């Protein structure tokens, strides 16, 4: 396997620089990675637009599940417009029904706002009760790729399902493994027909005690590491 694209998710300007310098092929831009990634600020979008890499903005207005209110949807549409205005390549979207199935109506509405931009269906896909059906829905809606761990806690644990999904996709959509992928865990995915992978390439750092004590943040935060990005890029080159 050659030319496997590495997408790295980052949530600040320092992480953006580390991902680019480490050799990431694409950036997923978020805020609050510790919460699974929320919509980045417009200022961070503008900063990322200067990077010599395609940048995908996470469109997720709050932490928690993916059932969106009318107010959430209006906000998400405005955030998609902001990503377009900033000059970003695309957006990362997701919406669920109460039973975990993809909410086709909401997704179609959001995709109309993102028309002409690159689009990724995020890991709300992993909550769906029937991933084969969800994949067909994503294809019909026109998503370019789906980010998934195969429904497992990590991509390595979900490798068998990922393989099945890739076979089903048959080139109609890119199935991009993500969750827990590092240069150390990558060999467990080497048998898959990989085109793209997603990773945070981050490490946990303890936060200053007074920051956590005053409620400004959790006891630790995750920080993208240039060395981790480089190590994963090198491991991909050896596949």
Whichever domain contains 139, its CATH number is 3.20.20.380
pLDDT attached to residue 210: 67
Question: In whole angstroms, what is the distance from residue 73 CA to residue 94 CA?
Answer: 11
Whether the predicted model's global pTM rises above the 0.85 cut? yes
Please state, in angstroms and as integers, the Cα–Cα distance from residue 74 to each residue in 68, 122, 167, following that order: 10, 19, 36
Question: In whole angstroms, what is the distance from residue 147 CA to residue 98 CA?
Answer: 20
Pairing of strands 55-58, 26-29: parallel
Domain span holding position 69: 5-237
How many domains are there within the chain? 1
Give the model confidence (pLDDT) of 159-170 as tens digits: 999 999 999 999
Give the model confidence (pLDDT) of 219-232 as tens digits: 667 788 899 999 99
Q: Mapping DSSP to helix (H, G, I), strand (E, B) and coil, where does residue 199 land?
A: strand
| Whether the predicted pLDDT of 72 surpasses 50 | yes
Confidence band (pLDDT; 50, 70, 90) for 58? very high
């Amino acid at each position: 396997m050659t030319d496997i694209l590495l997408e790295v998710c980052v949530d600040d300007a320092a992480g953006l620089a580390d991902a680019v310098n480490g050799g990431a092929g694409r950036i997923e831009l978020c805020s609050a990675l510790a919460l699974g990634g929320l919509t980045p600020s417009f200022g961070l979008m503008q900063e990322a637009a200067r990077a010599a890499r395609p940048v995908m903005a996470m469109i997720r207005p709050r932490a928690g599940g993916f059932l969106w209110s009318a107010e959430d949807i209006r906000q998400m549409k405005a955030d998609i417009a902001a990503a377009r205005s900033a000059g970003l390549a695309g957006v990362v979207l997701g919406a669920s029904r109460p039973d975990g199935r993809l909410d086709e109506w909401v997704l179609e509405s959001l995709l109309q706002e993102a028309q002409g931009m690159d689009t990724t269906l995020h890991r709300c896909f992993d909550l769906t009760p029937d991933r084969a059906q969800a994949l067909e829905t994503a294809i019909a809606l026109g998503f370019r790729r789906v980010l998934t761990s195969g429904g497992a806690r990590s991509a390595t644990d979900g490798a068998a399902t990922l393989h099945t999904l890739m076979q089903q996709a048959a080139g109609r959509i890119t199935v991009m493994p993500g969750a827990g992928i590092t240069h150390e865990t990558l060999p467990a995915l080497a048998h898959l027909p990989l085109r793209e992978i997603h990773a945070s390439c981050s490490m946990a750092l303890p936060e200053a005690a007074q920051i956590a004590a005053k409620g400004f943040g959790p006891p630790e935060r995750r920080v993208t590491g240039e060395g981790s990005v480089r190590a994963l890029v090198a491991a991909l080159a050896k596949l």
